[in-house]
């Protein structure tokens, strides 16, 4: 007897589909489905798997009369209306365990790229400019790294930093007792005073969306390197004023570049013109290994629901 139908709306590892079928679900694997199409058929499904394309808000969930679970292939839960889901007994969860190591490795790679001018020097050298002294870098060893939020990705980044002889200070508003021989549980004030590097690992929520604003970025006692694999605003001004020595960004507030207003385009042009800013297209956590791990994580969590 079928346990019901599950709709997968993004390109996920086949392990998830195969596992769900083996468990007795019917699976519609439709990675190219449009959000409006999901809205039209959601009443047929027991389960829904989304990434960032589909927003599981009240409108969609209100039509999902058979839905027992909705899950995010990735770490953010901002694409699910959690209060609505809870009120209607719809289990809602994500899979940060699946891509945390990939995000940590991306953050480390971006940081080393900044400190050693790798991106700048690569472009110059390929343009027949052999500029050694101009690209003299800094060593990570001996520096103090401040982490804002110590969840899955913050902890993964900290583990990778352990071999670099750095001091790691971590602040998490909602977690205590996580300090160890490598990581010091810290306050924001201590991070502001000591950090040479700031790395954000914040989920996108109404509370965190504009937490890291210009005032926050200007609170550090010395110029610092900035790594952001989550989201923030006001970074460019701090770079232009020299408060941030260099920044590595994997996300933008609006990632649909073709939809930019004139103001957004002007800001984007200023960002990409800065040689001390590295920008990648939201690929932290986007590895071949994490694709499989995310599918495994979701499958295990669905199985734990005992439907």
β-bridge pairing 244-249 and 224-228:
parallel
Catalytic residue among 13, 100, 201, 231: 231
Q: How far apart are CA 206 and CA 219, in angstroms?
A: 22
Find the length of the chain: 307
* Residue in the block written with tokens 């924001």: 188
Active site annotation includes 282: yes
Catalytic residue among 139, 255, 266, 289: 255
Q: Identify the bridge partners of residue 170 per DSSP, sorted by sequence position.
A: 147, 185
Q: How many CB atoms lie within 10 A of CB 166?
A: 18
CA-to-CA dists, residue 223 to 34, 163, 239, angstroms: 45, 24, 9
* Backbone dihedral region for residue 142 (phi beyond 0: left; psi -120 to 50: alpha; all else: beta): left
Per the CB < 8 A criterion, the answer to whether 195 and 224 are in contact is yes
Q: How far apart are CA 230 and CA 152, in angstroms?
A: 12
Catalytic residue among 30, 270, 282, 292: 282
C-alpha closest to that of 185 among 170, 200, 198, 199 = 170
Per the CB < 8 A criterion, the answer to whether 44 and 63 are in contact is no
Active site annotation includes 155: no
Active site annotation includes 255: yes
Q: At what angle do helices 288-304 and 14-22 cross, to 10 degrees?
A: 20
Q: Which active-site residues does the annotation give? A: 231, 255, 282
């Amino acid at each position: 007897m079928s346990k019901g139908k599950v709709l997968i709306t993004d390109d996920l590892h086949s392990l998830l589909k195969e596992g769900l079928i083996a468990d007795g679900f019917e699976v519609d694997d439709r990675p190219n489905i449009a959000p409006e199409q999901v809205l039209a058929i959601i009443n047929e499904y027991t389960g829904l798997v989304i990434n960032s394309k589909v927003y599981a808000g009240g409108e969609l969930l209100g039509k999902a009369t058979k839905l027992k679970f909705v899950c995010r292939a990735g770490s953010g839960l901002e694409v699910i209306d959690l209060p609505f889901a809870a009120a209607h007994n719809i289990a809602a969860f994500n899979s940060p365990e699946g891509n945390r190591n990939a995000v940590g490795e991306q953050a480390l790679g971006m940081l080393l790229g900044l400190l050693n001018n790798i991106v700048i020097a690569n472009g110059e050298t390929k343009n027949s400019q052999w500029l050694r002294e101009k690209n003299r870098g800094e060593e990570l060893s001996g520096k103090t790294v401040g982490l804002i939020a110590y969840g899955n990705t913050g902890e993964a980044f900290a583990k990778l930093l352990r071999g670099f002889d750095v001091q790691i200070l971590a602040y998490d508003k909602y977690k205590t007792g996580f300090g160890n021989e490598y990581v010091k549980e810290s306050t924001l004030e201590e991070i502001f005073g000591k950090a040479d590097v700031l790395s954000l690992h914040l989920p996108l929520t109404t509370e965190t969306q504009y937490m890291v604003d210009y005032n926050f970025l200007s609170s550090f006692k010395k110029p610092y390197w900035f790594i952001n694999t989550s989201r923030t605003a006001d970074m460019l001004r701090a770079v232009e004023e020299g408060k941030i020595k260099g920044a590595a960004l994997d996300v933008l507030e609006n990632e649909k570049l073709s939809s930019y207003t004139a103001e957004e385009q002007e800001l984007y042009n200023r960002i990409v013109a800065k040689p001390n800013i590295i920008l990648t297209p939201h690929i932290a956590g986007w590895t071949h290994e994490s694709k499989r791990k995310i599918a495994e994580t979701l499958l295990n969590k669905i199985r734990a629901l005992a439907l």
